[in-house]
A and B are shown apart, each in its own frame.
Chain A
Amino acid sequence: DTAVSQTPKYLVTQMGNDKSIKCEQNLGHDTMYWYKQDSKKFLKIMFSYNNKELIINETVPNRFSPKSPDKAHLNLHINSLELGDSAVYFCASSQPYRTHTEAFFGQGTRLTVV
């Protein structure tokens, strides 16, 4: 009964391929996020969805497209993968309104583009 789970944990793929990472949370939170952690361990937000609606898009290339079929799921699809996309991608959820919870993170997906 993991709070935030993302799959896969590891993803190795060739340049130019398209791949998806899935995320699910069972915490009942309204808001979900995608963060990217680069090779220097720096974490930066990419997207945020609140109740299936995109509310934050932090100048991420159009090749990245998040999709939220319902408020418990937030998937990340990446087209035409490039070497520079290699990173760890974290899904997270929180309840920033009303209760102001902290963010709960998934275990991360290490994406390696070769």
Chain B
Amino acid sequence: AQTVTQSQPEMSVQEAETVTLSCTYDTSESDYYLFWYKQPPSRQMILVIRQEAYKQQNATENRFSVNFQKAAKSFSLKISDSQLGDAAMYFCAAGGTSYGKLTFGQGTILTVHP
């Protein structure tokens, strides 16, 4: 069983600044993956970044990076040089390797101020 918790319902950031979205999880699986998805108003679910739990190195994708603390079961997303297009709902998700189903957090609405 997996649970994912996002404790920040809303966050805001100034354009060009940095913001960090928090996520904690719990899982009984020994091998799992963690994801951040972005959902803009168009409602399309867009993968932002993924992290394999067996990798110690934090994943990075351009302006997006994660801070993966396996012992603490924490998986935060850092967005650097925030842009207006980053405004969206962000979902943290955990997936096991057995069936691949994703368990999502409650989501964080990110507002970017010009």
Contact of B16 with A by CB under 8 A: no
- Chain B residue contacts of A78, Cβ below 8 A: none
- Chain B residue contacts of A50, Cβ below 8 A: 99
- Chain B residue contacts of A44, Cβ below 8 A: 104
Listed residue (A31, A42, A88, A96) with the most chain B CB atoms within 10 angstroms of its CB: A96
* Residue from A31, A43, A92, A100 within 8 A of B91 (CB atoms): A43
Are B99 and A31 in contact (CB-based, < 8 A)?
Answer: yes
Listed residue (B39, B45, B106) with the most chain A CB atoms within 10 angstroms of its CB: B45
* Residue from B43, B95, B96 within 8 A of A88 (CB atoms): B43
Contact of A86 with B by CB under 8 A: no
Bound complex: CA A102 to CA B37 (Å): 10
Bound complex: CA A95 to CA B95 (Å): 12
With both beta carbons as reference points, the residue of chain A lying nearest to B89 in the complex is identified as A41
With both beta carbons as reference points, the residue of chain B lying nearest to A4 in the complex is identified as B45
* Residue from A40, A45, A48, A102 within 8 A of B33 (CB atoms): A102
* Residue from B43, B91, B97, B103 within 8 A of A107 (CB atoms): B43
Given contacts A41-B107, A42-B106, A102-B50, contact A48 B45 (CB under 8 A): no
Q: Helix, strand, loop or mixed for chain A's interface?
A: strand
Are A96 and B107 in contact (CB-based, < 8 A)?
Answer: no
- Chain A residue contacts of B107, Cβ below 8 A: 41-43
* Residue from B91, B99, B106 within 8 A of A48 (CB atoms): B99
Given contacts A31-B100, A41-B107, contact A100 B33 (CB under 8 A): yes
- B51 CB to closest chain A CB (Å) equals 11
Bound complex: CA A43 to CA B35 (Å): 14
Are A48 and B100 in contact (CB-based, < 8 A)?
Answer: yes
Contact of B84 with A by CB under 8 A: no
Given contacts A41-B107, A100-B33, A102-B35, contact A56 B101 (CB under 8 A): yes
Are B97 and A97 in contact (CB-based, < 8 A)?
Answer: yes
Contact of B44 with A by CB under 8 A: yes
Question: What are 18 contact pairs spanning A and B, CB under 8 A?
Answer: A31-B100, A40-B106, A41-B106, A43-B107, A45-B101, A48-B99, A90-B45, A95-B100, A96-B96, A96-B100, A100-B52, A100-B97, A102-B33, A102-B47, A102-B50, A105-B44, A107-B42, A108-B43
